[in-house]
Structure 1
Amino acid sequence: MKIFILFLIVTSVESYKILCLFPYPGKSHYMVFEPILDELINRGHHLTVVSFFPATIPLPNRRDVSLQHLAPPNVEVLDLKEIYLKTQKYFGLENYFGHMSIVTSLAKSNLLICERIINSDVFEEFLAGKGEYDLILIEHFNSDCLLSLVHIYNVPSIGLISSSMMPWTMARAGAPDNPAYIPGMTLPFTEKMTFFERLINTFTLHFYNTWFEYAIWREEQKIIENKLKRKLPRLSDLGKNSSAVLVNTHFSINGIRELTPSLIEIGGIHLHNRTIRELNEPLRTLVENAEEGFIIFSFGSLVKGSSLPRKQMKAIINAFARLPQTIFWKWEDDISDAIKIPKNVKFEKWLPQYDLLNQQNCLAFITHGGLLSLTEAVASSVPTLIIPILGDQFGNAAHAQKAGVAEVLSLTEIEEDVFYNKLLSVLSKEKRQKAKLLTSLWRDRPQPAMETALFNIELVARHKGLDMSSGSRWLSPIQYLLLDIIAFIVFVLFISTFTFVFILKTFISVVQIYYRNKEKSS
């Protein structure tokens, strides 16, 4: 009976051929998109998936095109010692500008990946036009390299963003991106900013857009046009033509945005149909024996947690020794004999993070504030201590703190007493209560994130593309800010005033001449 019902569901939905392009080698990014691909296959669509993470077993209606030979996956590539040294150059402003060198270097590495992809057999295959597609799904991140295929195939596209919105996302869709009240993803601000914060926010927004235009978009344009031996529309303009952009955010934890119909929030979609798995030994026994509860400490997949500077490492260890709770710490390397480890600290090279977060005696989560980790904490009603490192983690941390479910501490601020007191605040009853309330708000939606995503994907394919973005995306800054209209009005007022004054002066002169002549004649 269930098979028959599934057959009816699948056959009631028109089947589409979809090309999925994921040119970024970050595993955490791909984890967001994978459930969408699985559900599209379940609904009978045919997928060609170009990524660094091909399926390990053959799947029906799915053809994988691997990019693995072009670059290694971005896993544990960021060294905290190097990041700490780089942030010392900003004279106390590292929370505002310390991320710039990291973000720009990561984007530069993607420029190299773009060149490899464009000159690979993979790109040659798609240039040959193998396969006619109804729709293209493409990751919108810090590269627009494969938007060239959207133009070549001339089919509608939908962007997918696994993080918070990039600095250029809102403008591409014609949505307001006023830095007076919309904080940048890389800054530790919320909607209410001081004059100084608005100044930094404005500078950062324009820095990233200008830098990306000249350092990435234009360079990618050259690479592609050299390959094709012909001119293409601007890649940024091709991005503006996206029918929709599905963003892994939700207003409850990412702040309020004025969105066009093309910008669609699907926050938490990587948890679709996610079940809580039983813990393996010996972890299960350690959790059960944690009578005072336990804390999880992880910097995610991109940051190598074991590269923590020795000063911060010592401060954290000493703070943990003062706590009754057990701490499960994701630590990739062997532990140095020079470091005295308290009995309540357990180092693990890998942790089943979501399964641990959903244990009843999980009391807190120390995290870098990556969107996936933060979302999992919110979904599990676990308060957090966030130590942001790069990208959208600063903005994520600020909004979580505003919601009352987190404390925030920068890498450079870590000292034993400061860290200990922040953690005590996170462990408080008040924080746990607010975490439960936020979970309730986060879950309370008109429909699940997956249904929202599938509806919009099929909507665009069904109508062979849609224009759901504001026309403001095509306006220059001069036009958008009405500076040309203001200049025209000022010019007209000036000419009108000048003309009026000239006529008035001429009239007065004529009158004066008339009376002088009259006096002479009398």
Structure 2
Amino acid sequence: MFYIYICFVLYWANISHGANILALVAAVSYSHQIAFAPLWKELSLRGHNVTVLTTDPMNDTKLTNLTELDMKWAYNVRKNSTYLIESKVFMWNYHQTVFGAMYRICDFVLSSDIGMNLRRNEYKADLVLVEYLCPEFLAFAELYNCPKILIASMSVPSIYSDLIGDSTHSVLHPEFITAFHGKLSFRERVVSTLVNWYLYYVFNFDIFNKKQISLRRYFNSTSTIPELISDIDMMFLYVNPVIHGPKAIGPATITIGGYREDTSEEPIPSKMKKFLDEAVEGCIYVSLGTNVNSSELNQQLLKNIKDALGEIPYKVLWKFEEDVGDMPKNIETAKWMPQQKILNHPNVKLFVFQGGLQSIEESVHGEVPFVVIPFFADQYQNAKILEDKGLALVLDRTSLKKDDLKNAILKVMNDSKYRDRVKKLKQLILDSPMTGLEKAVWWTEYVIRNKGAKHLRNPVADIPFYQYYLLDIVAFLLGIIILSVTVTIIALTKLYKLTTICYLLKEKTQ
């Protein structure tokens, strides 16, 4: 009885010391939300009081310490995603398009009852986590006088990394919106550098300026957006060096990607499971993610994909957002599918997808290789990474023909090297002392325990550009060399003239 009492006291002592955590994830994208949903769940189960602003609430009644501020309405702002499919939203205007939409959404949040309630003095937080798309929300940490963590479900623009001291290099680490990876050609190095310089201009003179307006309007803050980003205590990046490659980062940048455990209790629907179980020759899973709908593809591209899938000797499971009645007999469609469970089914042998990062993780865990048709954002670079690692074949959607897709599917299906390389990548990802979730939880509580993590700040963040690249030292040494050479030339010139005069005087006296 005494033992039970002690356990009861310790349990409630742990609960009573739980921190108040505010997480602000306003991205209108399911993939951005599910990347961090396990973290909110685990923190709440550990006794912390977690309040999350999200477009996709879990609505799990078991999580009594989790409060979800539902902003599902934001999907209406981005109801039509055709611009992502039809337009050339790529290197030059992607960030302006996405951050422009997010500026409107974040401004609406701040002006709403949710924003006003969060800005009231009676709300107290011990830690604020903010998604990188809405850096103006970092001002809440200033308001509560608490530490702040920046989070991202993918790589972040180089300017974010540079502001916190994780210096980037346009050749070694091209912007994630480019299709460049690995050893770059001269042309790719030129383009990558120009993209990097251009995005610095875009962020400093467009994106950050717009967000500065919200910062002053709702917080009356004297800080600038770059100052808020530079002052964060930590950053969680949902990437993995095994997939993306190693990168020089400071101790305050934590990579937590690579593997996400399937904790969903939703089973594979019986009809779908029967379809998979009967696919003894192998099944192809097709999904373009949550930001690109198969039903919104242009008619020619859709026809080419459908015809290619209809001619392969395998069953196909295709996430298709509308009811269709003219699909080939080997294709089964559904508006929604439990993707991770499907990719773990032993009969699924290939994943045809758009290149989303979370989908990559789920497919690698299921040991399923890829055929990639990228559309926008980091999907081009992700596709190049998979191709370079020998895990996938990549197709260009703008010129995709039926036979291109058909031949790619047959090649990956019939060549065991693709599946073997996926298995090896999975082994490398799992060979780690901690999972991404465990790292995220540990470091979150570390920041709370120590009331910040400024002592882990990368000193590079505080070194001026010219000092980091040794421009002042180079200029100094170059100045000495120029001065020395100049003095030497002048001295030699004068010596020559003096010698000449002496010689002439000598000749004259003779």
TM-score normalised to the size of structure 1? 0.88
Question: Within the alignment, does 1:333 sit opposite 2:322 as a pair?
Answer: yes
Equivalent residue, structure 2, for 1:65? 69
Equivalent residue, structure 2, for 1:308? 297
Question: Within the alignment, does 1:263 sit opposite 2:253 as a pair?
Answer: yes
Specify which of 365, 378, 385 is matched with residue 399 of structure 1. Answer: 385
Specify which of 427, 432, 454 is matched with residue 445 of structure 1. Answer: 432
Q: Secondary structure at the match of 1:245?
A: strand
Question: Within the alignment, does 1:382 sit opposite 2:368 as a pair?
Answer: yes
- Is the 1:300–1:370 Cα contact (8 Å) retained in structure 2? yes
Q: Counterparts of 2:264 and 2:501 in 1: how far apart (Å)?
A: 97
Question: Within the alignment, does 1:220 sit opposite 2:211 as a pair?
Answer: yes
Shift of 1:380: 0.7
Q: Counterparts of 1:521 and 1:324 in 2: how far apart (Å)?
A: 109
Equivalent residue, structure 2, for 1:187? 178
Equivalent residue, structure 2, for 1:34? 37
Specify which of 261, 264, 276 is matched with residue 287 of structure 1. Answer: 276
Equivalent residue, structure 2, for 1:20? 23
Deviations 1:64-102 (A, max 9, x none): 334445x236777422xx555434xxxxxxxxx745444
Task: Report the AA paired with residue 187 of structure 2.
Answer: F
Task: Report the AA paired with residue 66 of structure 2.
Answer: R
Q: Counterparts of 2:76 and 2:453 in 1: how far apart (Å)?
A: 34
Q: Counterparts of 1:171 and 1:102 in 2: how far apart (Å)?
A: 20
Specify which of 102, 116, 125 is matched with residue 124 of structure 1. Answer: 116
Equivalent residue, structure 2, for 1:233? 223
Q: Secondary structure at the match of 1:136?
A: strand
Q: Counterparts of 1:99 and 1:348 in 2: how far apart (Å)?
A: 33
Task: Report the AA paired with residue 263 of structure 1.
Answer: T
Deviations 1:269-309 (A, max 9, x none): 5x235268542222122222223221111111111111112
Question: Within the alignment, does 1:200 sit opposite 2:204 as a pair?
Answer: no
- Calculate percent identity across the aligned residue pairs: 26
More displaced, 206-215 or 296-305? 206-215
**Relative to 1, partners in 2 of residues 1:458 and 1:139: Cα closer, same or farther, differing over 3 Å?**
same
Shift of 1:202: 1.3
Deviations 1:45-64 (A, max 9, x none): 12222333445355423333
Q: Counterparts of 2:270 and 2:122 in 1: how far apart (Å)?
A: 48
- Is the 2:84–2:376 Cα contact (8 Å) retained in structure 1? no
- Is the 1:53–1:68 Cα contact (8 Å) retained in structure 2? yes
TM-score normalised to the size of structure 2? 0.90
Question: Within the alignment, does 1:490 sit opposite 2:475 as a pair?
Answer: no
- Is the 2:154–2:237 Cα contact (8 Å) retained in structure 1? yes
Shift of 1:447: 1.4
Specify which of 402, 411, 420 is matched with residue 433 of structure 1. Answer: 420
Equivalent residue, structure 2, for 1:90? none
Q: Counterparts of 1:101 and 1:192 in 2: how far apart (Å)?
A: 25
- Is the 2:85–2:375 Cα contact (8 Å) retained in structure 1? no
**Relative to 1, partners in 2 of residues 1:281 and 1:316: Cα closer, same or farther, differing over 3 Å?**
same
Q: Counterparts of 1:7 and 1:445 in 2: how far apart (Å)?
A: 35
Equivalent residue, structure 2, for 1:92? none
More displaced, 205-214 or 301-310? 205-214
Equivalent residue, structure 1, for 2:401? 415
Q: Counterparts of 1:397 and 1:182 in 2: how far apart (Å)?
A: 15
Q: Counterparts of 1:101 and 1:47 in 2: how far apart (Å)?
A: 35
- Is the 1:77–1:302 Cα contact (8 Å) retained in structure 2? no
- Is the 1:27–1:75 Cα contact (8 Å) retained in structure 2? no
Equivalent residue, structure 2, for 1:91? none
**Relative to 1, partners in 2 of residues 1:515 and 1:318: Cα closer, same or farther, differing over 3 Å?**
closer
More displaced, 249-258 or 469-478? 469-478
Q: Counterparts of 1:133 and 1:162 in 2: how far apart (Å)?
A: 23
Q: Counterparts of 1:149 and 1:501 in 2: how far apart (Å)?
A: 63
Q: Counterparts of 2:329 and 2:60 in 1: how far apart (Å)?
A: 42
Q: Secondary structure at the match of 1:242?
A: coil
Equivalent residue, structure 2, for 1:105? 97
Q: Counterparts of 1:73 and 1:5 in 2: how far apart (Å)?
A: 48
Task: Report the AA paired with residue 210 of structure 2.
Answer: E
Q: Secondary structure at the match of 2:140?
A: helix
Task: Report the AA paired with residue 44 of structure 1.
Answer: G
Q: Counterparts of 2:347 and 2:4 in 1: how far apart (Å)?
A: 37
Q: Counterparts of 2:56 and 2:330 in 1: how far apart (Å)?
A: 37
Shift of 1:187: 2.0
Shift of 1:2: 11
Q: Secondary structure at the match of 1:145?
A: helix
Deviations 1:474-504 (A, max 9, x none): 3443333222332233233333433444455
| Structure 1 residue ranges without an equivalent (≥5) | 88-96
Q: Counterparts of 1:274 and 1:57 in 2: how far apart (Å)?
A: 12
Task: Report the AA paired with residue 87 of structure 2.
Answer: K
Equivalent residue, structure 2, for 1:248? 238
- Is the 2:45–2:65 Cα contact (8 Å) retained in structure 1? no
**Relative to 1, partners in 2 of residues 1:225 and 1:11: Cα closer, same or farther, differing over 3 Å?**
same
**Relative to 1, partners in 2 of residues 1:452 and 1:227: Cα closer, same or farther, differing over 3 Å?**
closer
Shift of 1:395: 1.2
**Relative to 1, partners in 2 of residues 1:75 and 1:233: Cα closer, same or farther, differing over 3 Å?**
closer
Shift of 1:189: 2.1
- Is the 2:14–2:47 Cα contact (8 Å) retained in structure 1? no
Q: Secondary structure at the match of 2:67?
A: strand
**Relative to 1, partners in 2 of residues 1:118 and 1:373: Cα closer, same or farther, differing over 3 Å?**
same
- Is the 1:330–1:349 Cα contact (8 Å) retained in structure 2? yes
Q: Secondary structure at the match of 2:75?
A: coil
Shift of 1:393: 0.9
Deviations 1:207-262 (A, max 9, x none): 2232122221111112321344x452221221122221111111222222122211
**Relative to 1, partners in 2 of residues 1:7 and 1:175: Cα closer, same or farther, differing over 3 Å?**
farther
Q: Secondary structure at the match of 1:319?
A: helix
Q: RMSD value over aligned CA atoms? A: 2.9
- Is the 2:267–2:338 Cα contact (8 Å) retained in structure 1? no
Shift of 1:132: 2.7
Question: Within the alignment, does 1:359 sit opposite 2:345 as a pair?
Answer: yes
